[in-house]
Amino acid sequence: MPLSLCERHPAVPVDRLVAEMVPPPRFEGARFTTYLPDPAQPSQSAAVRALEGFAASVAAAPRPAAGGSGNGGGVLRRLLRRGPAAPTGPRGVYLDGGYGVGKTHLLASLWHAVPGPKAFGTFVELTNLVGALGFQQAIRALAGHRLLCIDEFELDDPGDTVLVSTLLDRLVAEGVFLAATSNTLPGKLGEGRFAAADFLREIQGLSAHFHTLRIDGEDYRHRGLPEAPAPLPDAAVTAAAGRLPGAALDDFPALLEHLTKVHPSRYGALLDGVEAVCLRGVRAVPDQATALRLVVLADRMYDRELPVVASGVPFDQVFSEEMLRGGYRKKYLRAVSRLVALARDGAASGV
């Protein structure tokens, strides 16, 4: 009997949120030596060399004091009262490039190359962690780390801008090194999403923490690969769910509705024990909020390498042309790229 994601209501304890700040299963084996630069894109090889040097610098630096400010006193109280000490220069590296050029692979390789304690998470997971722990406790949880890696760095609203700017200021002052990936240059974060000019000080402060490495290239998932497989009939998807071990079977519209009832920080837990995702009736998403939830779910499925078998419209049609022209264009293109890759995996499973 297939599983149903719509019947799951996961509860995730806070300590799990902290403990799971590691690269996702897809990137457990990621190393600089396993990254395959495109010979036509010299910036990719240059990025590997720069990150190897950065990893050596992080490893050689004194480790920040464990727990940062201890039990809410000392340095933390001084920082919250007077603000962080001004850093002498960028303490982070920022990987900028289009989707599918291997930025997450390189970020995970950096994480593996640096001794702990260290943390790795997407931007959404980081903001969810702060929401779960509270600001001061989040600082204490992360301040003793050598390195914080932030994947898919984006600022979608003014609250995130102020929150993350302040958080990273504090962590840099505590001695934490930073690394991030994004499809947007740090000085351009928030453009097209809200009145970024009103938060220019915070955005410029974020940018000052990073040295930017540009990584050019085309989406590796599309290099010489076929187009997205054609969707199957509903009956074939149902039959595939019965044959694939650990498969979840859901109607796409019902799943989108269910996602409104599950916090995005729990989408990973929603997929616990799932080995394949079967979806009937894939269709274009109706609005921006639904689309952004689907992006997070697609990221979590991709992290876990879950093949997808689906009926309905192809995944390159789930976001409207209007959405693809808007401020979240790069998020949606990344989601399409990943969903198509997972659909190929589903087709390769022999269903």
pTM value surpassing 0.75: no
In CATH, what class is 5-12+225-348? Answer: alpha beta
Tokens of residue 51, six digits:
């990150």
Paired tokens of 227: 């187009």
Residue where the block lists tokens 């519209």: 253
Q: How far apart are CA 209 and CA 110, in angstroms?
A: 17
Closest to 35 (Cα-Cα) out of 105, 140, 116: 105
- Single-letter code of the amino acid located at 314: P
Q: Does residue 261 sit in helix, strand or coil?
A: coil
Q: Sketch the domain layout of the chain as residue ranges.
A: 5-12+225-348, 31-220
User: What percentage of residues in the chain have a pLDDT greater than 90?
Assistant: 46
CB 71 within 8 A of CB 189: no
Residue 68 in this model has a pLDDT that exceeds 70 = no
Dihedral of CA atoms 21, 105, 151, 101 in degrees, nearest 10, equals: -170
Q: Does residue 217 come out as left (phi exceeding 0), alpha (psi in the -120 to 50 range) or beta?
A: left
Decide if 5-12+225-348 and 31-220 have a common fold: yes
Nearest CA to 30 out of 114, 112, 118, 93 is that of 112
Which CATH number, 3.40.50.12280, 3.40.50.2300, 3.90.110.10, 3.40.50.300, labels domain 31-220? 3.40.50.300
> Over the stretch 122-161, which tens digit does the pLDDT of each residue have?
887 888 788 878 889 899 889 989 999 999 877 655 666 6
- Dihedral over Cα of 319, 336, 242, 247: its sign: negative
Helix (H), strand (E) at residue 255: helix 252-259
Amino acid at position 73, single letter: G
pLDDT digits (tens, 9 = 90+) for 16-33: 778 889 998 889 999 999
Q: What is the pLDDT of residues 271-301, one digit of tens each?
A: 999 999 999 999 999 999 999 999 999 999 9
Q: Does 106 score more than 90 pLDDT?
A: yes
